Amino acid sequence: MMTDTIPNLTAFDEAALDQAFAALARQAQDAAAALNGEADAEAFRLDWLGRKQGRLNDVSGRWLKAAPPEAKKALGLRFNALKAEVERLLDAALGAGPSDAALAAEAIDITLPGTRRLTGAEHPITRTLNEIVSVFAALGYSVGVGPEVETDYYNFESMNFPPGHPARDTQDTLVVAAQDRRPLRDRLLLRTHTSPVQMRTMEMQPPPVRIVIPGKVHRNDAQDATHSPIFHQVEGLCVDTNITFSDLKGTLDHAMKALFGSAVKTRFFPSFFPFTEPSADVQISCIFCGGKGCRKCKNSGWIELLGCGMVDPAVFAFAAEKQPAYDPKKISGFAFGMGVERIAMMKYGISEIGSFYAGDMRFLGQFV
Ligand code: PHE
């Protein structure tokens, strides 16, 4: 079909042009008449209209170029007419569509059930994390994030874990290698808590601050039913004039009732964190037995859920290096941090933390 090439044109008078273009039109019509199906039509299109090797390209390249200036217009008109004819032939060939036999082979039985697509769903960790965040968003808190690879300064020093202090041993983590020539405060590690974002937030904005910070954290903890070396926390920070411990209690009591139901009670036990003073652990009444005592709460009726406290003046002093308004004589604040996995395990009655990370659809499919 495509062996005959375009001859050179030597005469450019109207009669010669008519004859030359008529011959091409005939060739195109003959070729089009023999087309059968889409593949043929595509070959025809390439043969005639192809950008590089198509015949029309050849015609315009050789005839038009060779034509004396006074013949160019007459040639151009005929060229456009030929192109239109080829396009019409191609449209007709495509419009004819596939044969009846081809259609029958592809026929769809519309009475068969369709292909069911799996609906995606939020992972239970993401869902719980969002739920915690929205409880605080409703109280007017904004949401912040910070880097997972953190400096020693933000993760430890500015959170009042001085270099060499034993409190650092409670939060061992992976450190980035080959940083010995850097000052300790600039060395990089995988953050052990979301608390460094407290400092990053305060450095960026003067008080008042109300922010929650969800994120992933890393610790050198052996994996067991309730611990994982990578897990998630939601941090909270509230700083303003006259923030008191009762604001902290009221806020967290409300948040626990919003997350676990209004029947839940909270109680605060003395604890220790370097960056809060005083510090407390928050317990909620056991959501499994209602406080009577069961296996889940080790018969105490209470379950420990999060850490909190009043922001230590030493932390404000670090923030004041960049934002002098963090003057502990003028402002005060509270902070809290909770483990997302722990809360999700309580809410959904999950006993193995590893279920969250295994990617087993039989587990994940329950949260659709
Ligand atoms: N950062 C603490 C931890 O990971 C939790 C916490 C946050 C405690 C804020 C008090 C205030 O254990």
DSSP annotation of 175 reads B
Ligand 1 atom closest to Cα of residue 334:
11
Domain identity same for 255 and 196:
yes
Gyration radius (Cα) of the chain, Å: 38
Ligand 1 atom closest to Cα of residue 159:
1
Tokens at 350, concatenated:
């999950």
pLDDT digits (tens, 9 = 90+) for 343-355: 999 999 999 999 9
Asked if residue 62 belongs to a domain, the reply is yes
82: CA distance to ligand 1 center in Å?
A: 80
For ligand 1, atom 7, which residue shows the shortest CA distance?
337
Pocket of ligand 1 (CB under 6 A): 193, 195, 235, 273, 276, 307-309, 335-337
Total of domains in the chain:
2
**Partners of 281 in the β-ladder:** 269, 307
The predicted pLDDT at position 99 comes to 63
Which of the residue ranges 109-123, 169-183, 231-245 would you say has the lowest mean pLDDT? 109-123
- Global model pTM greater than 0.85: no
Q: Which amino acid is at 331?
A: I
pLDDT digits (tens, 9 = 90+) for 8-52: 888 889 898 999 999 999 999 899 888 888 888 889 999 999 888
The predicted pLDDT at position 1 comes to 46
Asked if residue 77 belongs to a domain, the reply is yes
Average pLDDT, the chain: 92
Average pLDDT of the segment spanning 155-161 = 98
Q: What is the CATH number of the domain that holds 342?
A: 3.30.930.10
pLDDT digits (tens, 9 = 90+) for 75-102: 999 999 999 888 888 888 887 666 676 7
Asked if residue 58 belongs to a domain, the reply is yes
Pocket test for ligand 1, best of 216, 233, 252 (most atoms within 8 A of CB): 233
Q: Which of 315, 310, 308, 314 lies closest to 332, judged by CA?
A: 310
Tokens at 357, concatenated:
């990370």
* Higher pLDDT pick, 13 / 107: 13
Domain identity same for 173 and 280:
yes
Is the predicted pLDDT of residue 2 greater than 60, yes or no?
Answer: no
Which residue range(s) make up the domain with 246? 124-367
143: CA distance to ligand 1 center in Å?
A: 17
For ligand 1, atom 10, which residue shows the shortest CA distance?
308
In the chain, DSSP finds a helix count (H) and a strand count (E) of 13, 9
Q: How far is it, in rounded angstroms, from Cα 132 to Cα 346?
A: 13
